[in-house]
Structure 1
């Protein structure tokens, strides 16, 4: 089986509080985009093997796709068969785009079909939540509100289809580090998530982009000034708005004209090599 594991962006990202278990309660609007890794899954007699096109990625138990297969087999008590997983990575690694989480989600979805185990979407989401906070959302895809630690998902109507320019600067960002540096009590500007949800229901792209905001930018931009440079280039080229996705460092711009998007790409190439022009993608588990 071949399956596409699509990236996500955060239209809004708000951090409400720090929990006793070390995680944070969040409220954020997630959106799938049509940038994807391709996973090829092949049933074998036994064992789990993972291979990728990137030589620096681990292919053993450290790989979240491996962990997803291991969790699936142990939960379903499958010990008479195995799986070979090949991942062709296109989504940049450690970029704030859920590249690892979406690969894990694709493995769970694919194995459920290959082995005809007939797990429901909710059951798959529970499994995914044991692998990472973004995995339940990646199982669903589309436009959604994520709450809790990111694992409580409410599907929203599809966001209007539009052009998204993604630009990942050549820096690495640790999600744990960013959240660790965030002073939740000191946050003074937050996204108006409800206003953005209303704009989504009204298919109001201008209203959606007007409300875009990510509270984690305050931390990451202090460490990496290139993020604001990218945002300014996108805005100066005609983006309706531009924002960092997740804990970064990838920045995305929302464009309503391809000419403006291409203008931004041409300017961005002087400082960034990882640039993608994609569209929003509205799907759900049943269409994967």
Structure 2
């Protein structure tokens, strides 16, 4: 079985409060983009978990694909088999794009099919939320407003034809580091942004904000130039995605997007024109 694991960007992100369990209550607008990893999964008869990838993702027990397998195996019982996993990684790692979370979600979808578990989407989302706050989002299609720790999801359709350029210079940033140092805000009116995006209103793009950005750009000051270059070359908004280090620019038209891409494509490790996807 082959699955595409799509990345996400946070069009707007607010932190509301810190919880007793160590998580934070957030309010964020997440959109899937057509940048994806390829996940190949097949059953084996040896009862083991086998994994290979084109990049080193560290200890197996810390890998969300393995954690997803273990979670599903506990549900499957006697129906569980060994599996062989091959991951072709295209999404930058530790980059604010939820690459690990989307891998976990697609692993769970694949095992639900391979093992004939017939778990509902709601059940899969609940299981995924125990592994990572971003995982439930990837059981939906398109964009959603995420609240709670990210598990309370309200899908919505984006009618504003956003043109997006995604830049990553190879910097890896720990989400825990950024969350720890970010102050609590609760000042972004994401409900109004959603209404605007649903209505095709370009003016709300100016209201996109990420409260983590101040910490990211303060502690990793070299990233400021990425944002500045996107704005300089025509982006009407440039923002850190999630806890970084990826930064995306929003453009009104293909001409300005293409022009900026040509200017920046050789300046950074990863420069990609991406589309928002809703299916």
TM-score by length of structure 2 reads 0.94
Task: Provide structure 1 residue ranges, at least 5 long, that are not aligned to the other structure.
Answer: 284-288
Residue in 2 that maps onto 1:16: 16
Q: Given the superposition, is the C-alpha separation of residues 160 and 113 from structure 1 closer, same or farther in structure 2, using an over 3 Å criterion?
A: farther
Correspondence for 2:213: 217
Name 1:244's counterpart in structure 2: 240
Deviation, 1:80, is 5.1
Aligned residue in 1 for 2:196:
199
Q: Secondary structure at the match of 1:230?
A: helix
Please, which moves more after superposition, 228-237 or 131-140? Answer: 228-237
In the alignment, the residues of structure 1 paired with residue 107 and residue 162 of structure 2 have an alpha-carbon distance, to the nearest angstrom, of 28
CA root-mean-square deviation = 1.7
What is the Cα deviation at residue 183 of structure 1?
2.1
Q: Deviations over 1:79-124 (max 9, x none)?
A: 6512111110000000000000000000011111222211111001
Bigger drift between 154-163 and 252-261 goes to: 154-163
User: Counterparts of 2:171 and 2:100 in 1: how far apart (Å)?
Assistant: 18
- Note if 1:255 corresponds to 2:256: no
Distance 1:251 1:75 in 2: 38
Q: Which runs of 4+ in 1 moved over 6 A?
A: none
**C-alpha separation between the residues in 2 aligned to 1:123 and 1:219?**
35
Do 2:166 and 2:247's aligned partners in 1 also have CA atoms closer than 8 Å? Answer: yes
Deviations 1:226-261 (A, max 9, x none): 332112211222223111000001001122322212
Distance in 2, matches of 1:270 and 1:231, equals 16
1:53 is aligned to 54
Deviation at 1:203, TM superposition (A): 2.4
Distance 1:78 1:234 in 2: 53
Paired residue total: 278
Q: Which residue of 2 aligns with 1:83?
A: 83
Alignment gaps of 5+ in structure 2: none
- TM-score if structure 1 supplies the norm length? 0.91
